[in-house]
Amino acid sequence: MPLSPPRRYLTLASPARAEVEVRRSRFVCDVAAATSEEDARSFIDEVRAGSRDARHHCTAYVLGPDGATMRSNDDGEPSGTAGAPMLDVLRGHQLTDVVGVVSRWFGGTLLGTGGLIRAYADAVAAALASAALVAMELREGLVVEVSATDGPRVENALRGRDGCDVTAAEWTVDGLVLHLAVVPGAQDAVSGLVASLTAGDARIGPGPSRWVGRGTSGA
């Protein structure tokens, strides 16, 4: 029996950076949110361009609400000593739609397999420790059309309602069109509120589902 698609996942609210030093080798980790492989590669290229003197730029990313897309790259480090431990840390924090790049400046002392694994993992963990997270929740869509007279009152009521986000508001010649994202199961209650505010004159229909972010504490 197929699993239900996820309705909530954690990702980064904004980019973060941290540095660790091991035997004079510097490991600088940059992490950011990414919603596609194109986004992830663009961030990796940006970090590379800003630190061209680093010997290695090792990478890992996890994509998709279910975290189904996972990639890692050792960028010249011994196989399995950089990208894989970085990926393990991202997954261990239960994050997705996230990319990490660790730039390494060699300090002259070989760290060995175990030392490299720990250093790359520690760099990612340090960056995530300073990062702000956002919980993405899948909401159901509603489209509400009301008259120009009712528009401001309805919009104010909906913007102040828990579990309901006004994602767009468009004025037309006929009035105001509101695009809503509501928690699953709340469509009837929201529709009832709109009907009561407009004496039943509003037009209410389904809209596309969308992901809505909610801030959380750090990683």
For all residues of the chain together, what is the average pLDDT? Answer: 94
Instruction: Read off the pLDDT band of 18 (50, 70, 90).
Output: very high
**Confidence label for 214 from pLDDT (cuts 50, 70 and 90):** confident
Give pLDDT, residue 1: 45
Asked whether the beta carbons of 142 and 210 are under 8 A apart, the reply is no
pLDDT digits (tens, 9 = 90+) for 23-34: 999 999 999 999
Q: Which residue ranges does the chain devote to CATH 3.30.70.240?
A: 135-218
State yes or no: pLDDT of 190 exceeds 60. Answer: yes
Contacts of 178 (CB under 8 A, 6+ apart): 143, 144, 145, 146, 154, 155, 158, 166, 168, 169
pLDDT(198) > 60 = yes
Nearest-angstrom CA–CA distance, 44 and 212: 26
Are the C-beta atoms of residues 100 and 15 closer than 8 Å to each other? no
pTM as predicted: 0.84
pLDDT score, position 217: 57
Chain segment 73-100, per-residue pLDDT in tens: 999 999 999 999 999 999 999 999 999 9
Question: Where does the pLDDT of residue 6 fall: very low under 50, low under 70, confident under 90, or very high at 90 and above?
Answer: confident
- What integer is the mean pLDDT of 185-211? 95
Q: Which fold has domain 135-218?
A: Alpha-Beta Plaits (3.30.70)
- Per residue in 144-155, pLDDT (tens digit) is 999 999 999 999
pLDDT at 5: 76
Instruction: Check residue 145 and give its pLDDT.
Output: 97
Q: Which CA distances in Å does 89 have to 23, 62, 146?
A: 22, 11, 49
Q: Give the residue range(s) of CATH 3.30.230.30 domains in the chain.
A: 8-130
pLDDT > 90: percent of the chain = 89
**CATH 3.30.230.30 matches 8-130:** yes
Q: Give the CA radius of gyration of the chain.
A: 23
Per-residue pLDDT at 128: 97
Q: Which helix (H) or strand (E) holds 201?
A: none
Average pLDDT over residues 33-39: 97
